[in-house]
Amino acid sequence: MVVWRLMPSVAFQGVPGAYGELAALRAVEDASPVGYPTFHAVLEAVSAGVADIGVIPVENSLAGTVYQALDLLPQTDLHITGEIIVRVKHQLLALPGVRLEAVKRVYSHPQALAQCDLFLAQRGLIPVPAFDTAGAAQELRMRGALDEAVIASERAAELYDLAVLQSGIEDEDFNFTRFLVLSKHEAAKLPDVTYKTSVVFAVRHTPGFLLETLGQLKGLNLTKIESRPRRDRAFSYLIYIDFEGYIHDLDASSALVGILQKASYVKVIGSYPAAQMPD
């Protein structure tokens, strides 16, 4: 069992005001969020014991998979112990006194820019990638540019003394980001809780072999399937699977045994309580 410090440290990517900070605050009661510049640095902080847990975004309902974060999961010994779904409501922020008509360029994380693509295109605004939503807000305050804006949270506007030019600029209302909670310790099974399991595996390049391997999951409800290039072999791929169920339940454990018999590489990244969609 994990024994938390009085205020557990939760690592997230970005600076205060980032959506990752919001996920960190929801990850555990009385959390003390600490920002890091990259997803890799978040995982390193948890692995080294500098942070108790970490949160990284892996999927957005509009822009899709966050590949930079997903690709790190096979490379770490950390376990997924939970997931958090954050409702993302983007604000267009600028320095106080700046009017929307004066804005030419808009800075933000590439995922945030993608989630607001229609808004930007209709207004002829030039999207400029930044490492973080709140980081873009912080840098705009430091630059003092009067023809720039950023896409970030309402909290970022408050923290960096920026004005909201327009609220809720995401292309669709159903804009949610799924964060994974990672720890050095596996999650203990709780009663009467719906679980999900995340697995990554690789198979031989043989006709029909991938289909045979996926067939081992028959009867389970898959919630995500993704193919990504391997880092150690050219034109070879890892298959990421999320499915409903706890890894030691009969159906899930039987499926895992079947995958182990077929696949050349298998890693269970975590079996954890499934998140509820926010209101």
* For the chain, counts of helices (H) and of strands (E): 9, 15
- Residue recorded with tokens 């003092």: 144
Query: Tell me, what amino acid is at 57?
Result: P
Asked whether 130 and 156 are in contact (CB, 8 A), the reply is no
Asked whether 10 and 34 are in contact (CB, 8 A), the reply is yes
The H or E element that residue 113 is part of is helix 110-115
Active-site position among 177, 197, 213, 243 = 177
Q: Could you count the other beta carbons within 10 Å of the beta carbon of residue 48? A: 9
Q: Could you count the other beta carbons within 10 Å of the beta carbon of residue 198? A: 23
Task: State the DSSP string of 205-220.
Answer: S-TTHHHHHHGGGTTS
Active-site position among 39, 179, 201, 243 = 179
Q: Is 179 a catalytic residue?
A: yes
C-alpha 41, offset from chain centre = 14
Asked whether 86 and 279 are in contact (CB, 8 A), the reply is no
For residue 199, CA distances in Å to 135, 169, 253 come to: 32, 35, 12
Query: Tell me, what amino acid is at 157?
Result: A
List the catalytic residues.
177, 179
